[in-house]
A and B are shown apart, each in its own frame.
Chain A
Amino acid sequence: MKSYTKNSLQKSRIKESITVPRKTRFRESWGLLKKNKLAFLGLAIFILFFFTALAGIILTSGTNPYFDPSMVRLQEKLRPPLSDPNLKTLRPEETPKLGLYLFGTDDLGRDVFARMLQGAWVSLTVGFVAVGIAVLIGIFLGGIAGYFGQNHIRLYHILIALLLFTSAVLLFVGNKYLGVIFLIPGIASIIYTLLLKKISVKKAQSTRLQILHKETISIDTLIMRIVDIMLCFPSFFLILTVVALLPASIYNIMIVIGLTSWMGTTRFVRAEFLSLREQDFVTAVKALGISNLRIIFRHMVPNAIAPVLVSATIGIATAILTEAGLSFLGFGVPPPHATWGNILSDGKRFIFDAPWLTFVPGFAILIVVLSFNLFGEGLRDILNPKLRERY
């Protein structure tokens, strides 16, 4: 208590001399979040979902899981939720651990509660990994486009890239001899240009070599054209095509969703970087002689992160919906592993007799996606500087 008063005394003294923010930015956002009831509810549901999924993966995996999602009890099929198991017909290891079927059983008598627990982890990881990939690519490309965008790609860059690309293709095809032949001049020219930069000898170049230094398009244009190209693909159809062609695995889905959804983040980060790089603190940091990478990641990314966080939160919701749609169509995680999408897809044949097989996973997806959307929208309001208190 004493230290607290002393501390606050010190703080007030400091406040007299210089104006410091009364609260840290984090605590201020937290205060705003508590006022925004829907966003707070979203966060609460998200935390609950996170721990459910964590508990789910622990309790349903391994050789002898606590809840066995693939335990078939044909005599107990299509039991409604909250029904008691018929203990006479079950062997002791087949009885559900909760003493009742909380969410009922499916057409093979598998406990839907255990399957839902198993599926929660899939939804959680797909959402986070896919968005993680998308955000990383987005920050990387958007950062390059925003920070180095004005630099032009010179002709010899393209030539080196072509050399390396051909050698990579040749090596990939299996033609080692030709591949190495292309690889050596490629690497040699990289080392040569790097050395030239290090020594920075301004040699008078012949006009013939100056063609190699001719500027083509700027990096910004290049990256934005790549974004345009990616935006031309119908996203769900593209994801579906690639997932159908690749072997069925959860990792492929995560990667494909991630690789097809980074365009929005790239645009946000680029726009933020374009406005940030003109500001005084960046000039100050540059004057201190700090390296470009440190400027980008230590000073600019934290200032540009707000819109990325918002779009990432909403992106998680979209990724969970996409995964559910894919496993509903029968792609993705191979059975018997349960996902919320394939529980619903299996249950659709019994839609009138066993509606819980549709409603339990359906409402689970709905609530989780809704919580992410609400939290994301709330975050957008909270991180909006117009709503913050002024000092």
Chain B
Amino acid sequence: MLSFIGRSIIQKIITLFFVSVVSFLIIHLAPGKPSQVDPLNPKFTPEMVERFRKEFHLDKPLYTQYLLFYKDLFTGKTVSWKDNRSVLKKIWERFLNSLPLFIVGTLLTWTLSFPIGIRSALFRGGFYDRSATFFSYLLISIPGFFFAYILIIFVVTHFHVPVIGMETFGIGIHSLPHLVMDRIWHLLIPSVLGATGGIAVLSRYVRSQMLEVEGQDYVRTAKAKGLPPEVVHYKHALRNALLPFVTMFGLILPGLIGGSVIIESIFSWPGMGRMAYEAILARDYPIILTVNFLSAVLVLAGTFVSDMLYMVVDPRIRL
């Protein structure tokens, strides 16, 4: 067990190193220079560009830049090229904005997809199962931005509530319930959008997992013993079907930082995804690289957590 943990941590650190090298190379070897973002700006004199290059070590060779960047990152001194603010602080602010979206979206995904998937598995081939299957394909296939506009049209014309942004612009002083409701309305549509794809995929997965377990011998034995169907389904089958999903808790970690670029830019939600998008447009390399690095860390941490959880819940697995 301990040796497994040690080995996998070392492996993950090596992977992380290569990720950092590859992402650094991708960004720096791509055509175009960050100092040329705004060549028409009259304030961007050659001296300014030179000072800019010197300030951010762009005149040094690539490997020095790499070392300097990651030294700054680990000591927390990286600053955004655009406004000279600390990158980690900026990301933290945006992260706090994205967090409610992530939490509500994840809760919706995990609470809705299990009942849907289990019911489709129990009534396999029936009307409910077939319509659930079709709807999940529909939700997987619908482009997020299109669905967003359908929901916006629906909510705005039927409920007459504004939905863009984190709160109504210039809402001013209102009673507390009013403010809370305003926040909830603004939170609801983006998080529903974030959850749709997840619900569709996860409910299909729950269904197939449940079907597999229902075909096992011990379920037949339980039925043959004359146990009531609820006990067979929910005690004998469901518990075993849930095993793989415990591990998926680790895999939702990366969603924390990704945010959704498209949904956040449609709803002007000042979250992580939108910040990353703006950083890409402004060629703000420190932010792009830091977001990339943090999300790689979360992916690796997520797989690590899911491996650990699998070992804890499934006694058959001994590594």
Mask: chain B, 7-37; 1 = CB below 8 Å from A; 0 = not: 0000000111011001100110011100000
- Please tell me if A48 contacts chain B, counting CB pairs below 8 Å: no
Evaluate contact between B19 and A245: CB separation under 8 angstroms.
Answer: no
User: Which residues of A from 102 to 130 have beta carbons under 8 Å from B?
Assistant: none
- A317 CA to B144 CA, complexed, in Å: 14
With A236-B261, A351-B152 known to touch, is A246 a contact of B143 (CB < 8 Å)? no
Contacts of B31 in A (CB 8 A): 245-247
Which residues of A are found within 8 Å of B16, using beta-carbon distances? 232
Minimum CB distance partner of B12 in chain A: A228
Say yes or no: is B262 at the interface (Cβ < 8 Å to chain A): yes
Is B311 an interface residue when CB atoms closer than 8 A count as contact? no
- Cβ contact within 8 Å between A232 and B143: no
Give complex CA distance A325, B292 in Å. 20
By a CB distance below 8 angstroms, the chain A residues around B142 are: 366, 369
CB distance from A292 to the nearest CB of B (A): 29
Least Cβ–Cβ distance between B16 and chain A, in angstroms: 8
| In-complex Cβ contact of B15 among A232, A234, A237, A325 (8 A) | A232
Rounded to whole Å, the gap between the CB of A241 and the closest CB of chain B is 5
B residues 142-201 near A (Cβ < 8 Å) are 142-146, 149-150, 152-153, 156
Contact A329 B261 (CB under 8 A): yes
Residue ID in chain B nearest A229 by CB atoms:
B18
Which of A233, A236, A351 lies in contact with B153, CB distance below 8 A?
A: A351
Pick from B14, B18, B149: contact of A362, CB under 8 Å: B149
Could you tell me if A344 and B292 are in contact, using CB atoms closer than 8 angstroms? no
Residues of A within 8 A of B32 (CB): 245
**Do residues B146 and A234 form an inter-chain contact, with CB atoms below 8 A?**
no
A317 close to B288 (CB less than 8 A): no
B22 touches A352 (CB 8 A): no
For B300, list chain A residues within 8 Å (CB): 232
Asked whether B143 lies within 8 Å of A321 as measured between CB atoms, the reply is yes
Q: Which of B152, B257, B281, B296 is the one whose CB lies under 8 Å from A244? A: B281
Contacts of A240 in B (CB 8 A): 261, 277, 280
Q: Cβ of B146 and Cβ of A344 under 8 Å apart?
A: yes
Distance (Å) between the CB of B275 and the closest chain A CB? 11
Say if the beta carbon of B276 comes within 8 Å of chain A: yes
Asked if A338 is an interface residue, CB under 8 A from chain B, the answer is: no
Residue A82 at the chain B interface, CB threshold 8 Å? no
A81 contacts the other chain (Cβ, under 8 Å)?
Answer: no
Quick one: CB contact mask for A222-242 with B, threshold 8 Å, 1 for yes?
000100110111101110111
Residues from chain B with Cβ under 8 Å of A234 in the complex: 254, 257-258, 292, 295, 299
Chain B residues contacting A242 (CB-CB under 8 Å) are 26, 30
Bound-state CA distance A363–B149 (Å) is 12
B38-46, B133-141, B221-229: which lies at the interface: B133-141
Is chain A's interface secondary structure helix, strand, loop, or mixed overall? helix
Q: Are B149 and A358 in contact (CB under 8 A)?
A: yes
Closest A residue by C-beta to B299:
A232
Closest B residue to A325 by beta carbon equals B262
Q: Contact between A374 and B137 (Cβ–Cβ < 8 Å)?
A: yes
Query: Which B residues between 108 and 144 are near A, CB-CB below 8 angstroms?
Result: 134, 137-138, 140-144
- Does the CB pair B141–A373 fall under 8 Å? yes
For B19, list chain A residues within 8 Å (CB).
Answer: 229, 232-233
Check B146–A233 contact: CB distance below 8 A. no
User: Given A38-B134, A329-B277, A377-B137, do A366 and B146 touch, yes or no (CB 8 Å)?
Assistant: yes
Q: Are B140 and A373 neighbours in the complex by a CB distance under 8 Å? A: yes
Per the bound structure, the CA–CA distance linking A351 and B164 in Å amounts to 14
Other-chain contact of A329, B134, B137, B257, B265 (Cβ < 8 Å): B265
**B145 & A328 in contact (Cβ 8 Å cutoff):** yes
B291 within 8 A of A: yes
B299: which of A231, A236, A329, A355 is its contact (CB, 8 Å)? A231
Chain B residues with CB below 8 A from A244, complex form:
280-281
| CB–CB B30/A328 < 8 A | no
A259 to chain B, nearest CB (A): 11
Distance (whole angstroms) from the CB of B237 to the closest CB of chain A:
21
Q: Does A157 contact B (CB under 8 A)?
A: no
Indicate which residue in A238, A351, A352, A370 contacts B137 across the interface (CB closer than 8 Å).
A370
Q: In residues 267-319 of chain B, which contact A (Cβ within 8 Å)?
A: 276-277, 280-281, 283, 288, 291-292, 295-296, 299-300
Known: A373-B140, A374-B137. A233 touches B296 (CB 8 A): yes
In the complex, whether A348 has a CB less than 8 A from a CB of chain B is: yes
CA distance A224 to B16 in the complex (A): 15
Chain B: CB-nearest residue to A340: B143
Within the assembled complex, what's the spacing in Å between the Cα atoms of A198 and B22? Answer: 37
- Closest residue on chain A to residue B138 by CB atoms: A370
Closest 5 CB pairs of A and B: A362-B146, A245-B30, A370-B141, A369-B141, A232-B296
18 additional A-B residue pairs with CB within 8 Å, beyond A245-B30, A369-B141: A38-B134, A232-B15, A232-B19, A232-B295, A232-B300, A240-B277, A241-B26, A317-B141, A321-B143, A329-B261, A329-B262, A344-B143, A344-B145, A344-B149, A355-B153, A363-B146, A365-B143, A369-B142
Using a CB–CB cutoff of 8 Å, the interface residues on chain A facing chain B are 38, 225, 228-229, 231-234, 236-238, 240-242, 244-247, 317, 321, 324-325, 328-329, 344-345, 348, 351-352, 355, 358, 361-363, 365-366, 369-370, 373-374, 377
Residue contacts A-B, CB under 8 angstroms, 9 given? A231-B299, A233-B23, A324-B143, A328-B143, A329-B262, A344-B149, A369-B141, A373-B140, A373-B141
